[in-house]
Amino acid sequence: MVKINTDTTAQAQAVKNEFNTTLDKDDFLKILVAQLKHQDPLAPQDDNEFINQMTQFSSLEQVMNIGGKMEKMLEMATQSSGLSGTNAFALVGKNVEVETQDGKEVGIVDRVIKNGNDFQVEVNGNKHKAENIVAVLNAVEGESNA
């Protein structure tokens, strides 16, 4: 029977995982700190070089933050079909014209309901799919048609 040393296997997996990852901002900072710790005291690092590295670190962090925000925006945009959540919730209190089976209904959006990835609006006590909104009216138009 072959006996496997689990400690060695775990260490091998950790090494494998370490080599499969890319450098991130934490790694960059660790390298910078290591450079400072191990610099030659008789020939310290040039101030300009240090400032350049700090600028690169700051730029890296900002780019990573922007990338994360862009991913979130893309995710939000692709989650809902048609009207996005932000746009749907902005309709509360607005006069809208909704296409119904019986024609059209005009009224103020009392509330917005999220059902999975779809949104419904409640107008005059009736629930409608947000995608059935054909117009958003100003107060004067809504009052004259109501």
What is the domain extent for residue 101? 85-145
CATH number at residue 112: 2.30.30
Same domain, 90 and 140: yes
pLDDT tens, residue order, the chain (146 aa): 444 444 445 555 555 555 555 667 777 778 878 888 888 888 777 778 878 888 887 888 888 889 888 888 777 665 544 565 667 788 888 898 999 888 999 999 999 888 887 888 899 999 988 888 888 887 654 444 44
Residues 82 and 62 sit within 8 Å (Cβ to Cβ): no
Residue 97 to residue 138: CA distance in whole angstroms: 11
Considering the domain boundaries, does residue 97 fall inside one? yes
Same domain, 54 and 100: no
Residues 95 and 107 sit within 8 Å (Cβ to Cβ): yes
Residues 117 and 79 sit within 8 Å (Cβ to Cβ): yes
Considering the domain boundaries, does residue 10 fall inside one? no
Same domain, 74 and 100: no
